[in-house]
Amino acid sequence: MFYWRSTIRGADGRRWAEVAFTGRAAARGQEPYLGLNLGGHVGDDPDVVAENREAVAAALGLPRSRFVFLNQVHGTDVVQVAGPWPGPAPEADGMVTTADELGLGVLVADCVPVLLHDLRAGVIGVVHAGRPGMLGGVVPRAVEQMRSLGAQRLGAVVGPSVCGRCYEVPSELVQRAATVAPSSVTTSWSGTPAIDVASGVVEQLTQLDVTVDRVPGCTREDEDLYSYRREGTTGRFAGVIVMHEDASR
């Protein structure tokens, strides 16, 4: 079920966070979505997607209602969430919370999933950072919102995404990327202009004094991860974070 999963503990031991990236290996559903597809907007059977989301929530020890997603639009909006959405999920590409036992999820199939945390302050967040979001500053916006909620010592886990070797783009996009995050400029396997979005995200986080851990993996090269670049019509995996608190401490 999980491509990668870990636990992060706060310095005082009172709070901890589970961080994870789901994988495709669970043999659920039908092609082209076969596996643990969590994307409800890609044409898959809604009942299968609902079952998959419930299974991930259960693995995290959460009821399904406490596992929330966004209506992602490749933008730069970041919203604050305190509990299950009262209606449809908002259009945004990042969300932050101070709530315990609330799983935050972002859906990706080549874009960069970012999990943010400051457990001392009791703030966590997630970001869906595709090329438009990276160039537009969705990650700095999420960091800004978390700091407005009291975060001071932020850490980030940057998950698997399409690597620069596999992400060929027109030269004008590379030129724009060079003005935003120079480290994102690279060359594809065939020697054409390319962008490494994850490297750009890491550069932005580092410039904001956020400590970064990076989980390796290229979505286009690893078949345990959904990849739009590799397959076109396909599912979505998720980056997930949930914060817990020991009230007795």
Q: What does the pLDDT read at residue 23?
A: 95
- The token pair that represents 62 in the structure block: 């959460």
- Looking at residue 11, the DSSP 8-state letter turns out to be T
Backbone angles phi, psi at 162, to 5 degrees: -65, 135
Tokens of 233: 């019509």
- What is the structure's pLDDT at 247? 61
pLDDT in tens, the chain (249 residues): 999 999 999 887 789 999 999 999 876 889 999 999 999 999 999 999 999 999 999 999 999 999 999 999 999 999 999 999 999 999 999 999 999 999 999 999 999 999 999 999 999 999 999 999 999 999 999 999 999 999 999 999 999 999 999 999 999 999 999 999 999 999 999 999 999 999 999 999 999 999 999 999 999 999 999 999 999 999 999 999 999 987 655
CATH number at residue 62: 3.60.140.10
- Residue 29: predicted pLDDT: 87
Q: How many residues does the chain have?
A: 249
Q: Output the pLDDT for position 135.
A: 96
Amino acid 2: pLDDT: 96
- Please state the pTM of the whole predicted model: 0.96
| Confidence (pLDDT) at 25 | 82
User: Facing residues of 243 across strands?
Assistant: 17
> Which residue from 197, 185, 25 is spatially nearest to 128, judged by alpha carbons?
197
For the chain, the domain total comes to 1
Backbone angles phi, psi at 200, to 5 degrees: -65, -40
Domain that holds residue 85: 2-245
